[in-house]
Each structure stands twice: as structure tokens, then as C-alpha cells.
Amino acid sequence: MKNVAVIPGDGIGPEVIGATLDVLEKVAPKAFTFNEVAMGGNAIDKYGEPLPAESLKICQDADATLLGAVGGPKWDNQPPENRPERGLLGVRKGLKVFANIRPAKIFAPLASACPLRKDIADKGIDFVIIRELTGGIYFGNHEAFTTPNGERAARDVMEYSEHEVRRIAHVAFKAAMGRRKIVTSIDKANILTTSRFWREIVEDVAKEYPEVKLNHLYVDNASMQLIRVPSEFDVIVTENTFGDILSDEASQIVGSIGMIPSASLGDNNRGLYEPIHGSAPDIAGQDKANPIGTILAGAMMLRYSFAMNAEADRIERAVDGVLNDGLRTGDIYTGTEKLVTGSQMRDAIIARL
């Protein structure tokens, strides 16, 4: 029995998580114990804090953690240290996951949802973004202060240590070895000292993977090339903030933010699995949320944490199948296919299994 901690979260989180647990139960009956955990806005309401110690402990003791999404306008006025997103950062830190893996792959039936020119999309889009997750400016010192001349000011510190860069570079090169063997490291080395340091360490790690071709791009150029020639990317590795931004750009290239899963891995197999979207308060409670991103995150969990590759393949094929059948939630609907609710999408995927 695999022990999975489940964080439904806020907004559409419980909807997409519910669908995913149903799919997992269908593909591997009685293989999992699901332990539901409070985190995010709901935990603030119930316990006064976004990540109660008990919640983190359950995740740390589990074989893997599955997360929906947290946050929403209700908690926007919380002090910074008590915002739902702090819970998210706390879980990532507490689970010691440092590598976030986000595939960006165009599903053939959704090619028409790609906003890029047809000749660009037709070349195929299939890359992964490997984002450093527990370092950089998001985890540096944050402070608001008053300057000696009495003006208000703020600063956030960007910092990377050698082991942080080295271990994420290894994740990227290993991933590339199982793919097209191209790593593109993205930085801002023309301006930032942390980026020049990042580049130096990545080049050093590259020596251990002579079969892999390493390119470097500045982040501003990378954001253009992802639109111009996405087919040329295989594995992208980058620091926390750049990865945060570029992966949302990538999600639009391949269709909807609702379609993309992610895995966050540490040194062992205990990962954190979640869709890349947020809690989508604008559609919460309306059965409009696309559950596919979270369902595919469940498939990544089977693959990376439990080596259940056959079951993961079945889920991915079922998703392909329903898309081929023309089923679309609102976010991927272009006007001609069959518009379905989130729960109809879930039921169709389960039926295919």
C-alpha cells in the first residue's frame, strides 16, 4: 500500500484533486492510502496558519504528496508570512524537493489550441523545463526598510550556492540523456553575478555528460526563442524565478495552463506532484476546472515515485483518447468540439481506463 499525502487546497484544488484520486483508484484499485492534509487558505481559516506542523509531518512521512492549488482573494490581505503561498514554499522546503520538472508537450488533438503560427507548431513541441525550486530570490532575505534619508525601500536577496546549482544541473543532464540530449541553461549572465556563477557550475557538470550538447541563453532571449523556435528545445534548466516565468509562457505555447502537470523531486523518490495552475478562484465551484493537469501529475507520481510505468502510460493514453474524442473543458474549447464540465471530463477518462 502506497501512502500518499493529499493536499486539496483552495479554489478549484479540491475539484481537480477529487478527479485525480478517482482516476488513481481506477487505474490501481486499493494500491494507495490517501491522507488528506490542510494547507493554504483553508488551513489559515481552520488553524490560523497556512502550513500547520501536523500537515507538513504527514507529507514528510508519506511516500509522495499530491497537491491541488492554494490561495485566493479571501487571503490576499494576510501578512506576507501567513499567506497561503507560504504554505506552498514550506511544503517544498520541508520535503527537500529542489527540482521542478514541467513537461511542455503539444497534444496532437490540441494542436489547433496552440497560439503559435501553424508552421512553427507543426515542427513539434516537446521539451521539459527543469526549474530550481528552493533557492534564489524567492528564498533569499526579504525586507522592507527605511533608507538613512528617510525614504521607504525594499530588497530581496538572490543567492545560489555551488551544491544547489550542481544538483539541479545533474537532474537536467540526466533527463537529457533519456531524451534528445540537448540542455539549454538559461540565465542573465550579462548582468547578474549569480548567473555567471550558475553558468560556470553548469559547464563543469556538463563535462560528466559528454554526449549532451549544452547551450546557454539569456532569459530575455530565451523568452523570445520559446515562441520563435520551440521545437529546438529539449531540456531547459534554469533558476527559480526565471523558471517560474518561462514555464507559464511554455504552458500557453502548448495550449492551456489546465493541461500541464509538474513533479518536484529531491534526492530520494519522494516527490511532490501538482498541476502548474493556481486555484483559479474565477471558476471555483462551477465544475469548469480542467482536471487533466492534476490527473497527469498523478501519472507522473506513479512514474517517478512508484515506478508504476504501465499504469502511468494507461492514464496518459486515456487522456489522449478523450482529447481525440473531441472532449474539451472551457479552457481548451475552440468552438467546434464537445464542451464538457470538469466532472464529465473525469468520467470520460475513467471510462477509457
* Distances from the Cα of 102 to the Cα of 23, 209, 234, 343, angstroms: 21, 22, 12, 25
Sole binder of ligand NAD in the list 38, 56, 130, 283 (CB under 6 A): 283
**What angle do helix axes 219-228 and 240-253 make, rounded to 10 degrees?**
10
Sole binder of ligand NAD in the list 14, 52, 71, 135 (CB under 6 A): 71
Is 70 among the residues that bind ligand NAD (CB under 6 A)? yes
Cα–Cα distance, 269 to 3 (Å, whole number)? 13
Which CB atom, from 89 or from 206, has the smaller least distance to ligand NAD? Answer: 89
Sole binder of ligand NAD in the list 165, 172, 331, 345 (CB under 6 A): 331
Minimum distance from residue 69 beta carbon to ligand NAD (Å) = 4
Stretch that binds ligand NAD, among 132-140, 229-237, 287-295, 310-318 (CB under 6 A): 287-295
CA 271 to chain CA centroid, nearest Å:
12
Sole binder of ligand NAD in the list 136, 243, 278, 298 (CB under 6 A): 278
Cα–Cα distance, 97 to 217 (Å, whole number)? 25
Widest CA span of the chain, in angstroms?
67
Sole binder of ligand NAD in the list 17, 290, 300, 349 (CB under 6 A): 290
Is 289 among the residues that bind ligand NAD (CB under 6 A)? yes
Q: What are the residues facing 33 on neighbouring strands? A: 3
Residue with cell 464537445: 338
Which CB atom, from 87 or from 183, has the smaller least distance to ligand NAD? Answer: 87
Is 257 among the residues that bind ligand NAD (CB under 6 A)? yes
The residue at minimum Cβ distance from ligand NAD is 278
End-to-end CA distance of the chain: 21
Q: Which residues are part of the catalytic machinery?
A: 138, 188, 220, 244, 248
List the one residue out of 17, 83, 43 whose CA is nearest residue 275: 17
Minimum distance from residue 185 beta carbon to ligand NAD (Å) = 24
Question: Can you give the length of the chain in residues?
Answer: 353
Which positions touch ligand NAD (CB under 6 A)? 12, 16, 69-72, 85, 88, 257-258, 274, 277-283, 289-290, 293, 329, 331
